[in-house]
Amino acid sequence: MIDYVWYAPTRVIYGRGRTDEVGERCARYGFMKVLLVWGGGSVERTGTLGRVRASLEAAGVERVEFPGALPNPDVEPVREGVELARRERVQLVLAVGGGSAIDTAKGIAVGVPYEGDVWDFFCKKARPTQALPVATVLTIPGTGSETSRNIVLSNAETGEKIGIAPEVTRPNFSILDPELCTTIPPRVAAPGIYDMFSHTEERYMSETTHADTTYGVAEAVLRSIIDNGPRMMADPTNVDIWGDLMVAGDLAHNSVTAFGIKTDWTNHGIEEPVSGMYPQLAHGAGLAITTHCWMRYVYRRHLDVFVRFAVKVMGVRADLGDRERTALAGIEALEDWTRRMGLPLTWGEVGLADADFEALARRACGYHSDGCVGGLEKLNWEQVLEIYRMGL
């Protein structure tokens, strides 16, 4: 186990009907004027936004609305939100929605006290040291942004998609009401569920030793996602299933599955350039493609890790005489699960068979000072290009 520091200040308020507490919570913590950030019309159609508005009004909390979040959150709406938040002198940025709304809200929060352009943080020209407080009402689990420090934004002008992780953007509080999830179409929910799987898998695929507790927590989270994902697809209005998935999404990205281990993050590193350049691609769908290709590319050189994944996560029976067969069976079991979730395994299925994979590979590795991506195994751009092409 390696040294680590954990910081998780977000107050999580979980339960049916807890959405109606948002106004009282804002007032209790002294936030009497909020910027209400949301995106897709679903939060309005389902009545969630109406409930939030009513709760804020009942608590005497003034609101300014910003319905500018995009499915692949982009920096341009964030810039607009920054100007609005400054002009209105809000005290809190309140996101209602999934990861897109929350990341938009976080981007606004770090941009308000900064004199330059918020994109400077993503280009590593500056580092966020302060931000407006953030709170969330989560309507679709997946990204884990409701308790994490992470922000991922795209830039439509440059085709880039970049993540940062400043401590100052961890939400002050987040409301997790599983009833809000029951109106989500399964095809919309599935990519988010794969994203939460990936957040845990990216940490779990590690060769760090003497970290049994951390690996055990990750295995429990991964198995819960694997079990409950197909259950949700078959019964999307089941509140109890959504409750389990909400908890899994939180644990997947609040770093408890990374205590004391060297993490990987290859798949996020090679997928984000794709959905940055082609924003019609859902992030989780892209991860479904890159993950199984990456696994097939590296598993023979890391058999201990992939046998552990196969047996303890995917439930494969170990072949003691053929460890490579066991590892491969785990990858195949993951591919079967991906199909059950209605997610793609090839670029052609998402209309990207003709994507500029060489440019994407160079971009994926160009973000790193050593020109390589990955923790379990360092990969240069030529190797990343091979992985992309495996998805064809």
The reply to whether 199 and 158 lie within a common domain is no
Closest CA relative to residue 193, chosen from 225, 149, 145: 225
The reply to whether 158 and 65 lie within a common domain is yes
The reply to whether 166 and 247 lie within a common domain is no
The reply to whether 86 and 226 lie within a common domain is no
Based on the structure, what is the number of domains in the chain? 2
DSSP letter at 279 equals: T
Cα separation, 283 vs 201, in Å, equals 15
The reply to whether 84 and 229 lie within a common domain is no
The answer to whether residue 2 is domain-embedded is no
The tokens describing 41, both together, are 């019309």
Cα separation, 153 vs 169, in Å, equals 14
Please tell me the predicted confidence (pLDDT) of residue 7.
85
Q: What is the CA radius of gyration of the chain?
A: 20
For residues 31 and 91, is the Cβ–Cβ distance under 8 A? yes
Sign of CA dihedral 159, 163, 164, 167: positive
| DSSP-assigned letters across all residues of 202-233 | HHHS---SS-HHHHHHHHHHHHHHHHHHHHHH
The answer to whether residue 386 is domain-embedded is yes
Please tell me the predicted confidence (pLDDT) of residue 344.
98
Please tell me the predicted confidence (pLDDT) of residue 68.
84
Domain termination residue (choose one: 135, 165, 180): 180
Cα separation, 279 vs 140, in Å, equals 19
Cα separation, 300 vs 334, in Å, equals 17
Coil/strand/helix, residue 2: coil
The reply to whether 196 and 342 lie within a common domain is yes
Domain termination residue (choose one: 115, 145, 180): 180
The reply to whether 51 and 107 lie within a common domain is yes
* Other residues' Cβ atoms within 10 Å of the Cβ of residue 194: 26
What CATH number is attached to the domain comprising 74? 3.40.50.1970
Report phi then psi at 350, rounded to 5: -115, 15
The reply to whether 247 and 155 lie within a common domain is no
The answer to whether residue 3 is domain-embedded is no
The answer to whether residue 201 is domain-embedded is yes
Look-up: residue for tokens 């049994």? 212
Sign of CA dihedral 294, 297, 302, 306: positive
The answer to whether residue 257 is domain-embedded is yes
Report phi then psi at 43, rounded to 5: -70, -25
Counting Cβ atoms within 10 Å, is residue 294 exposed (0-12), middle (13-18) or buried (19+)? buried
Please tell me the predicted confidence (pLDDT) of residue 8.
86
The answer to whether residue 83 is domain-embedded is yes
Please tell me the predicted confidence (pLDDT) of residue 111.
97
The answer to whether residue 358 is domain-embedded is yes
Cα separation, 39 vs 244, in Å, equals 25
Please tell me the predicted confidence (pLDDT) of residue 188.
93
Domain that holds residue 370: 186-390
Domain termination residue (choose one: 141, 160, 180): 180
* Other residues' Cβ atoms within 10 Å of the Cβ of residue 186: 16
The answer to whether residue 307 is domain-embedded is yes
The reply to whether 216 and 176 lie within a common domain is no
Report phi then psi at 19, rounded to 5: -55, -35
The reply to whether 222 and 140 lie within a common domain is no
For residues 167 and 118, is the Cβ–Cβ distance under 8 A? no
* DSSP H/E element including 307: helix 303-308
What CATH number is attached to the domain comprising 194? 1.20.1090.10
For the chain, 392 residues long, the average pLDDT of each consecutive 10-residue run is 90 96 97 95 92 98 95 94 98 96 97 97 95 97 93 93 94 97 94 97 97 97 98 97 96 93 96 94 97 98 98 95 97 98 98 96 94 97 98 96
The tokens describing 115, both together, are 């004199």
User: Could you give the strand order of the β-sheet that contains 62-66, starting from the edge strand earlier in sequence?
Assistant: 11-14, 173-176, 134-138, 92-97, 33-37, 62-66
The reply to whether 316 and 339 lie within a common domain is yes
Please tell me the predicted confidence (pLDDT) of residue 40.
78
The reply to whether 194 and 284 lie within a common domain is yes
Q: How many whole angstroms from its chain centre is CA 106? A: 13
